[in-house]
Amino acid sequence: SAGFQVFGIDISEKVITQISSGNLNVHEPGLKPLVQQMLREGHLNLSMQPVSADIYLLAVPTLLGPHLE
C-alpha cells in the first residue's frame, strides 16, 4: 500500500494458488483485506520462482507449543 512492488515466493503451488485467490492460511487482523487489495492493484505477485530484488525477507513457520500448534 506504500507503492512497493512485492513478490511472494513459495515452494508450494497450493500456497501460491490459495493466496492468489485472496485466501490466507494465517490470521492477522487486517491482513486479508490488505492482501486482496494488493492483488487487485497488481502490487503483489506470487510465484514459485525467485526474482531479482533489492530486499529479501524470509518468513518460515514457527511452532508455538509442545503439540506443534
Q: With bands split at pLDDT 50, 70 and 90, how would you rate the model's confidence at 4?
A: confident
Whether the CB-CB separation of 48 and 13 falls below 8 Å is answered with: yes
Residue 44: its H or E element: strand 44-47
pLDDT tier at 68, thresholds 50, 70, 90: low
Cell of 47: 510465484
What tens digit of pLDDT does each residue of 5-37 get?
Answer: 888 999 889 999 999 998 988 888 999 999 999
